[in-house]
Amino acid sequence: MDLQGKRLSEKNWLDDEEKLQRLSVMVLREVDRIVFDLEFHRDMLIKLWSKERIRMPLLRVMHSRYFELSFELLALFPPRIYQLLDDFYRALDSFIFYVSYTEDMPQALMLRFDTFFQDLKDRSGTVLELLKSCAPKDEAVCLASEGPPPLVFEGEADDMVFEDTDPGKVIEGLTEVTDQNAKKDDPNP
């Protein structure tokens, strides 16, 4: 049995075009997630900074795997897309550096946050469009900015039964407690 021939006949690797398509989808979703999460969690992140001086939630929102990609993978992108990606991630890196070491007061942080965020958002538009052009044509790419995913239980609430709860008992218990409180509060028993 020729194992070498068998391995070569099976496709266990991706060619450069498939790598580029998959990488484009992953980077596309990451850029979209970063911009969406920064906007969506803005107020909470600033409150955490102003009350507790906690940096980690903001740094986690800006976490990116792009910085860990090899040059071999980055070289798959066409030069224009790579240049735009590099510009976006350099701006993100500046934002991360600022957040990592700032001692600014909350108002100053909010102003800088808005400036950095607007810069990232402006840079992301073109990047997202060009990355979509590299993504596989046969699959729709779902983006966070197009709306949150449906909840796990959405539309299934009537069919779900939980072992540790009995809705009848919970409602009866609430009714009994409510009736007892109403009798205590009633001035005319």
Q: What is the pLDDT of residue 15?
A: 86
For the segment 90-125, what is each residue's pLDDT rounded down to a tens digit? 999 999 999 999 989 989 999 999 999 999 999 999
pLDDT of residue 180: 53
Instruction: Say if residue 183's pLDDT is above 60.
Output: no
Calculate the CA dihedral of residues 45, 49, 51, 57 and round it to 10 degrees. 50
Is 176 domain-assigned? no
Q: Is residue 118 situated within a structural domain?
A: yes
> Is 52 a residue whose pLDDT tops 90?
no
pLDDT bin (cut points 50, 70, 90) of residue 62 is very high
> 32 with 144: CB under 8 angstroms?
yes
**Residue 23 counted as domain residue:** yes
In a domain, 117, yes or no: yes
Residue 137 pLDDT? 78
Q: Do the domain assignments include residue 104?
A: yes
Q: Is residue 183 part of a domain?
A: no
Against a cut of 0.75, is the pTM above it?
no
Does the pLDDT value for residue 6 go beyond 80? no
Which domain, by its residues, includes 76? 15-152
CA distance 172 to 189: 22
Q: Between residues 1 and 141, which one has the greater pLDDT?
A: 141
Q: Is residue 116 part of a domain?
A: yes
Tell me, what's the pLDDT at 162? 45
Query: What per-residue confidence (pLDDT) applies to 11?
Result: 53
66 part of a folded domain: yes
Which of 139 and 57 is assigned the larger pLDDT? 57
Task: Yes or no: say if 38 and 61 are a contact pair by the CB < 8 Å rule.
Answer: yes
Domains identified in the chain, total number: 1
- pLDDT-above-70 percentage for the chain: 67
What digits encode the pLDDT tens for the residues 122-173?
A: 999 999 999 999 988 766 666 767 765 554 444 554 555 444 444 444 444 4
CA separation for the pair 174, 189 (Å, rounded): 21
Average pLDDT over residues 64-90: 95
Lowest mean pLDDT among 33-42, 52-61, 137-146, 163-172: 163-172
